């Protein structure tokens, strides 16, 4: 497998894992609440990551990479909290696509400043990918008011910081830097849960399974994204991994019979075109 195809493969794996994880986490959130579900899924990752690192005898990274991972974790959690604040305003049709586009665009711009100039097909693919992320976030009858827009932009910046931070890890280690990221993010999320006096207890075994699945898939996505960036440039990996809302929407359509709007259908189709163009290079 060429480096480009490896980047595409693992970038799409990250997208699929985040998309499925969001679906299972969303199902659990209907019973327990989003913040509580995120806290449990983060705790799952915090237990899983160091265990894998020990089983694989992964060498400890340099202190710099641990600190980079910790900062990345704080950025990601800040983005998550900002996203929930934006979504709670009731303007999901704006908040979701704006945060996704920003989280894809900023790492892409960062990659371009480092000299990773894409070819013609890839450049067109990037545009198609960003457009598809926006379109799949559109909801039928969604209001066009701009309330929550600022928080959505902050969410996208936070997610961008997380992705860029993971790309800046220099050591060959994967799981220890992610452990540092997950430690800081878990502390932040659990603190929010405790301050808001929310419950972490699942009401049914199915809810618990959904939360644990979301946590495991989040780990898989993080690992896949790091592998994608190590095989290619950050821009390709960030745009492909940002296609995860399409996966969530397709799962909701398949299992929950949720309606896919015309624009969402166009966005999903455009995502496939983006993948093909980016893969050509």
91: pLDDT strictly greater than 60: no
Residue percentage of the chain with pLDDT more than 90: 37
129-161 confidence digits (pLDDT tens): 888 878 876 665 455 455 567 888 898 899 999
- The model's pLDDT over 11-44, given as tens digits with 9 standing for 90+, comes to 999 999 998 988 898 888 888 877 888 888 899 9
Q: What is the mean pLDDT of the chain?
A: 86
Q: How far is CA 112 from CA 38, 233, 236, 269, in A?
A: 32, 9, 11, 26
| ∠ Cα 200 203 208 (to 5°) | 70
Domain count, the chain: 1
What integer pLDDT is reported at residue 70 of this predicted model?
95
Q: Are 132 and 274 in contact (CB under 8 A)?
A: yes
Check residue 281 and give its pLDDT.
66
Q: What is the structure's pLDDT at 245? A: 82
Most confident stretch, 29-33, 54-58, 89-93: 54-58
The predicted pLDDT at position 87 comes to 62
pLDDT tens figures, 195-207: 888 777 777 889 8
Average pLDDT of 46-60? 95
The pLDDT assigned to 119 comes to 83
Asked if pLDDT for residue 259 goes beyond 70, the answer is yes
Give the mean pLDDT of 109-119.
83
pLDDT of residue 158: 93
Query: What Cα–Cα distance (Å) separates residue 15 from each residue in 139, 176, 197, 205?
Result: 20, 22, 32, 27
Q: Identify the domain containing residue 200 by its residue range.
A: 3-280
- Any idea which residue has 């694989």 for tokens? 56
What's the whole-model pTM score?
0.86
- Residue 225 in tokens: 């994204």
For 219-244, write each residue's pLDDT tens digit.
999 999 999 999 988 988 998 998 88
pLDDT-above-70 percentage for the chain: 91
Confidence of residue 88 (pLDDT cuts 50, 70, 90): low
């Amino acid at each position: 497998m060429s480096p480009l195809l490896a980047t595409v493969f693992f970038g799409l794996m990250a997208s699929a894992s985040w998309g499925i994880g969001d679906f299972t986490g969303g199902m659990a959130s209907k019973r327990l609440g989003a913040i509580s579900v995120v806290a449990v899924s983060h705790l799952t990752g915090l237990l899983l990551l160091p265990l894998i690192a020990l089983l694989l005898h992964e060498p400890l990274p340099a202190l710099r990479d641990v600190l980079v991972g910790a900062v990345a974790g704080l950025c990601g959690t800040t983005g998550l909290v900002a996203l929930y604040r934006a979504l709670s305003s009731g303007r999901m049709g704006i908040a979701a696509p704006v945060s996704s586009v920003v989280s894809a665009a900023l790492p892409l711009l960062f990659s371009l400043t480092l000299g990773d100039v894409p070819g013609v097909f890839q450049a067109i693919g990037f545009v198609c990918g960003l457009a598809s992320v926006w379109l799949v976030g559109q909801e039928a009858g969604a209001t066009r008011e701009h309330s929550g827009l600022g928080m959505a932009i902050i969410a996208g910046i936070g997610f961008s910081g997380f992705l860029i931070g993971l790309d800046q890890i220099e050591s060959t280690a994967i799981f220890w830097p992610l452990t540092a990221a997950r430690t800081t993010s878990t502390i932040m999320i659990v603190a929010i849960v405790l301050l808001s006096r929310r419950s972490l207890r699942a009401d049914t075994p199915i809810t618990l399974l959904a939360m644990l699945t979301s946590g495991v898939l989040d780990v898989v996505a993080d690992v896949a994204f790091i592998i994608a960036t190590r095989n290619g440039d950050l821009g390709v990996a960030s745009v492909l991994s940002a296609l995860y809302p399409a996966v969530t929407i397709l799962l909701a359509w398949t299992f929950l019979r949720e309606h896919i709007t015309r624009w969402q259908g166009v966005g999903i189709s455009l995502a496939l075109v983006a993948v093909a163009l980016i893969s050509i290079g």
